[in-house]
Amino acid sequence: MQRTSNPPADAGKTVLDAGKTVLKARTFECMGTVIGLTMPVDFPAEGQPGLAEFAAATAVVERLFQDLDETFSLYRPDSEASRLARGELKLPQASARMRERYAEAHEWRLRTEGAFTPERPDGVLDLSGIIKGHAIREAGTSLLALGRGDWCLNAGGDVLVSGSPSPGTPEPWKAGIVDPADRRTLITGYALGGNSGHEAIATSGSAERGEHIWRVGNEGEFVQVTVAAADMVTADVLATAIVAGGTRMLDRAADGWDVAVLAVRADGSMLATPGFQPA
């Protein structure tokens, strides 16, 4: 990665060196949070097709997120999810994509012994615990289909990467893990991709927006749980499940999946599987 000095914020025209690769980021708002796509972009002497391709890739990702949000958001009264929640629509009559996500969420409920569940305590179907991860997964598939091999997609703190920030090298993308007690600082870092094969990392918190985490008998054991896994939905669901299920679910996850887990308790103490332990 040729991480050249960043252009001054007020410079409308960026001085770009021909042939250099720099990281570029684009963000958009969706699902109540901010989604960011970061890519190493090439700057040839003329035309800058690297930037154009980046813009196109960002547009594809944004469209995909918006499309899923229109169907699955409970914040949109007219969404299919809202009509289901109000009982105007029954699941058997719902769209195939809705039923597929419900089936996937239900499978995770079984795998996590109920620590992850697609239903709120009042019985209302709420797939928000799985839709963001699903959207990231789909976006990743689209980026690969577009021929993009090096990128980092961050949706409100859940991250999926491909390749390297420095194309053609084994350098991994590195994610910092936020300290729940002070969000301006990091607890530690984790290398995504590379030897671990973990290209996805997700963090769930006990104070999370949307309240899709409902505890199952481990009140407040962990205030924040980070899970790294090969795929986004696994990381996302297990992070949510461990916040809800505590140490027992943490042990189940560590035993049953190829994951690395970092869990932070309310007093600031931490539990970590070997993947998060310093060498």
Partner 1 sequence: MKLRGTVAAALASAGILLAGWQSGTQVNGISTVASSTTAAGTTGATGSGSSGAGSSGAAGSSSSSGSSNSSASGTYKGNTVQTRFGPVQVQITVANGKITDVTALQLTNTDGKSIQISNRAAPLLRSKVLAAQSANVQTISGATITSDAYLTSLQAAIDAANL
Residues 58-117 that bind partner 1 (CB under 8 A): 111
Joined tokens for residue 128: 């928000």
The least CB distance from residue 201 to partner 1, in Å, is 5
The least CB distance from residue 217 to partner 1, in Å, is 19
Joined tokens for residue 218: 């481990």
Residues 177-206 that bind partner 1 (CB under 8 A): 177-178, 180, 183-184, 186-190, 195, 197, 201-205
- Contact characters 137-176, partner 1, x per CB under 8 A: ---------------x-x-xxxx-x---x-------xxxx
The type of residue at 166 is S
Q: Which is nearer to partner 1, 189 or 220 (CB)?
A: 189
Q: Which is nearer to partner 1, 20 or 83 (CB)?
A: 20
Burial of 227 (0-12, 13-18, 19+ CB in 10 A): buried
Residues 24-43 that bind partner 1 (CB under 8 A): 24-25, 27, 29, 32-34, 36, 38
Among the listed residues 89, 125, 146, 230, the single contact to partner 1 using CB under 8 A: 230
Rounded Cα distance, 211 and 109, in Å = 17
Q: Which is nearer to partner 1, 144 or 186 (CB)?
A: 186
Q: Which is nearer to partner 1, 25 or 56 (CB)?
A: 25
Q: How far is CA 142 from the centre of its chain?
A: 15
Q: Which stretch binds partner 1 (CB under 8 A): 58-66, 72-80, 140-148, 249-257?
A: 249-257
Number of residues located near partner 1, criterion CB under 8 A: 78
Joined tokens for residue 64: 């995909």
Rounded Cα distance, 186 and 40, in Å = 24
Q: Which stretch binds partner 1 (CB under 8 A): 19-27, 42-50, 67-75, 76-84?
A: 19-27
